[in-house]
Structure 1
Amino acid sequence: MLWEDRDVRFDITPQQMKMRSGERIIDKLESIEDTKGNSGDRGRLIITNLRLLWHSLSLPRVSLSVGLNCIINITTKTVNSKLKGLTEALYILTKANNTRFEFIFTNLVPGTPRLFTSVMGVYKAYTSSKMYRELKLRGAIIQNKQLRILPQEQIFSRVNGVWNLSSDQGNLGTFVITNVRLVWFANMNELFNISLPFLQISSVKVRESKFGMALVIESSEASGGYVLGFRIDPLEKLHEVHKEISALYSVYSQCPVFGVEFVLQDKPPPENEQLDLPDKDETEIDESVSETADVLAAYLADGNHHDREPVFSSELGLAIEKLKEGYTLQTLWEVIPS
């Protein structure tokens, strides 16, 4: 399952830091501070076509993985860095699993704007290439009975006389099979169509239906869990199409095409795509202490963005802002959770 672009994860394992199939490093920046959660800690920021990776240079287990699909907004913000003082930093607001997180990255090397240009440029390239990764219904993808080709797309087959079995009477249309997706559109109405990337396909089968033998394609839960049925006559042609789609799906699974293309104008000489993580110092890792709550708290963003009402605290003898549910004065003052 593809999680890299759809999750925000903290302190990930070295295995999760590695590039998955189809993921590639677009830029790598040294001397980047995670000012929000690890102020004062020098680290490395890796920008891929799916996510932003940051890890501490002194403690590699201190790391972040921020999926590009989770990003809500990217802007700049003036912050006070422990290592650089008052400076302009990159501010990123994200949302994952109904929780908002804030990330602030500060470039500790003066005169290098690549932190801003690389992250913003790659994010724009990601958002503009959703057709490679997301199921689309009734989109403007057909013009004069021809598929509008994506930049990295190649058409392999065009199959006429394909019945879409989504309604009782069926609709006659055309299949277009490419290296990244399946497209079907109705002959009588081009806007009645579906674009299904291989990335969102969970299974491709031939089985019996009330219309006879049909090609049945199930989409992933992330794309809605659709069950799509298509009838192709004669039966030999149906099996040929099924075989071709299955073969292309298998090839795609080995090396997915995510569609994110971005070229840096001032990129330094190419490096290998290894993250070059320093060796872990196992003596520094205490598995008996769970720091997950503290790590998340450092990055949590208040989605309401307003002050809470003041209440009287009998413990302090003062009026204070009303605490969030689940918090007490004692837990807020504790350095080490009890």
Structure 2
Amino acid sequence: MSEGTPSEDYSGTYYDDAHLGGYDNYSWDNEEWRTFFLSLADRVVGIVNPRSVLDVGCARGLFVQALAAKGLQASGIDISEHAIASAHVDVRDRLRVASATEPFEGHYDLVACIEVLEHMGPVDAQRAIDNIAAATDLVLFSSSPTDHDEPTHINTRPAEQWAAWFAERGFFRRTDVDLSFLSPWAVLFERRELTLHTLAHRYEQQLAAVNTELMEKRQALLESHRRISSLNQQLESGVSKKMAEQAAQVEHWQAEVLAARHQLLTTRDHVIGTEAQVARLTGDEQRLRRELAQARKQLVNVRGRLKETRGRVERLTRKNRQLAAEIEAVRLRPSFARRAARKLLGGPR
């Protein structure tokens, strides 16, 4: 694409979609963002100690506000009318709506351009670099070489490409400054007339450090690989021994399982026999209970008959006693006795 993204692409929806932490979050009132930009301002002051700073693509001016809080003459521009209008009231008069493709007024000790040029078309990005180079001798620059999912990143480039374009304008990386606290690809460009000797020295200095780190990491990686191989061999050996021990243990457990199963079957048979015996005893108990019930019933009948018989005996006993009394009374009567004698002897009455 040759055309960049217009102001309309950075309305409230852009911030609301969390491109810069969310509409409600990306503001000076957010403690996390405020702390970040104040820390960034401290680092910038500590590194270059500028008096005047222009922030190109300042959004809501958080970096400008942080620099102003440190006493610097800081200002910012951005193409987003919404961003400038929604800036904090304390910094709004330091910001204005403008494009980086337009020449800047004045000269600055430092121009910051943080995550901006990847939003511009290739031609506009070159114009912006020209304008930045014309307004300062020191540039704080950062542009994401990735993050291609961001729809407004229409001109992402590798860091070395931006460095080459700045070098065409006489700006070179300050190799003594590390800005990785801002982003992995952040760099401080400085306008310098460098000889081939100085360029080669800087290049080799950086290359040597990187190459040394690379070789040390490769050596550490190799040692780690060897260590892993040794541990794998020990592990395999230990695993084999462990597997043999486990196999023997499994055989022992299998034998115990077979013995337990045999014992289980024996116990089950014993239980079945016991249950059968219990069933038989239960049947005998029920039969005995029935016989006992019958015997009790018979006993009740016998007791009834016995009671009846006793009654009869008592009645007969009373009757016999009565007859005996009557006989005794008759025996004691004389007239009766004489008549009985005469009758027996056949004499007159």
TM-score, normalisation: structure 1:
0.19
Structure with the largest fraction of strand: 1
> Structure 2 length normalisation: TM-score?
0.19
**Which has the greater radius of gyration?**
2
